[in-house]
Amino acid sequence: MPELRIRPATSFLDYAPVSLTFGTSGLRGLVKDITDLEAYINVKAALRYLLSIGDIHASSGVVIAGDLRPSTDRIMRACAQAIVDLGCQVENAGKIPTPALISHAISARRAGVMVSGSHIPFDRNGIKLNKSVGEVLKQDEPGITREVERVRVEEYSRTATKSAFDASGMLKQSPDLPPIARAAEEAYVRRYLNSFTCGGLSGLHVLVYQHSAVGRDILPRILRELGAEVVTAGRSETFVSIDTENITDEQVNRLEELAVAAEASGRPVHAIVSTDGDSDRPLLTAVLTAAEVHPGGRRVRFLPGDLLGIVVAEYLRAAGYRVFPVNPEVGRPSGDPAYPSLQDIPLPIDVVTVFRRPEFIPAVVEAALAVAAKALWLQDGVVHPEAAQRAEAAGLRVVMDRCIRRDHRRLLAGSAAPPSSKPLGP
């Protein structure tokens, strides 16, 4: 997308600002263009919008966090200044995964600001915003954009003396962030420990590829507390761009090298786990034994997110359910046909399980209602309160932001009786 350069009607800036734009995951731009002023304008405007729709109120707390990019600390301070100038309170959650920030913010009914570019290169960064009830959605973007233009006019019209920013768009006095509050991080860890059986990973030898992921110390902690023997490798103090949905051959080779090195102790590695930069997307690979590898093949097998959905489907099948995949990108469980839509499935649907991003959920709700499904299950990280309310008002039972496989295992713990066979939509 070409840069949108703005010619401000002011004399104190000595450059043409470039506006941040909404992408697939928040606001993003080149670091050189995310000046303190640009970050300030966008965060202040977004919070004004949330105030205008009643999502937050004056003096509300706003949770802020960031990833490990070199530009993140500076941008976090500019965002904090915007929060304070709007009359809200800053809760500094530190350097934590985006899901940890959002989960804590929603539970506390607070807006959240995550400074992260996710997996994009280090010369870029971004700002992810959330409402007190969930993610900022596409329908919120026009309202936020209107507020951005208003705040932009206000800030650009100030004189050099009156502005808090210098001619290069940087704060004249950058504020210190408040001391780090650990509530968001601890709640994130507890969520995993409470969701899985104590010691459930006992006997597994897991390698955590740390690189520069913000959750690189939290992930090993969770796995160890669940009983796994964990070895860490690949830690980097410079930012490493990892797109967990598009792992390259070079990266797979690197993971295999790390696995072989970890096995020098004599213990086989069962899996490699990691995340992208802001730790909101998992990276999982199986590690095959030498005997399982075909000539010329790799020992490391990358399991993409869409394949993990198939793993959940296979688990449900083994538990006695009938599973109908809808538009899967890879594979078909046990040879079952894939269907282009819920309406094409020839049998009644009890539960529609969803692995898609939140902006797709309203359409899924309407499709589920059209086929008279009984329940809607939104997997971990899939949060859309408005769509959930619509579904519940129409008579659907709704579970949101939980893993159906994990909860099924917990509910059946200690029970020898398998569930009755019920058809599920993906």
Task: Give tens-digit pLDDT for 176-197.
Answer: 999 999 999 999 999 999 888 8
- Please write the tens of the pLDDT for every residue from 238-296: 999 888 878 888 999 999 999 999 999 899 999 999 999 999 988 999 899 888 888 88
- Residues 196-303, CATH architecture: 3-Layer(aba) Sandwich (3.40)
118 is catalytic: yes
Is pLDDT of 216 > 90? yes
Is 196-303 in the same CATH topology as 21-182? Answer: yes
Out of 25, 103, 116, 118, the active site residue is 118
% of the chain with per-residue pLDDT over 90 = 64
pLDDT band at 416 (very low <50, low <70, confident <90, very high): very low
Q: How far is CA 343 from CA 332, 367, 369, 377, in A?
A: 18, 7, 10, 18
Residues 6 or more apart whose Cβ sits within 8 Å of residue 117:
28, 67, 69, 124, 125, 126, 277, 278
pLDDT in tens, 12-42: 899 999 999 888 778 999 999 999 999 999 9
The predicted structure's pLDDT at residue 356 = 82
Mean pLDDT of 65-83: 97
**Architecture category of domain 307-425 in CATH:** 3-Layer(aba) Sandwich (3.40)
pLDDT tier at 420, thresholds 50, 70, 90: very low
**Confidence tier at 424 by pLDDT (50, 70, 90):** very low
Amino acid 5: pLDDT: 63
Lowest mean pLDDT among 269-273, 313-317, 319-323: 313-317
Return the CATH fold of 21-182. Answer: Alpha-D-Glucose-1,6-Bisphosphate; Chain A, domain 3 (3.40.120)
Q: What is the pLDDT, as a whole number, of residue 3?
A: 56
Question: What are the domain boundaries of the chain?
Answer: 21-182, 196-303, 307-425
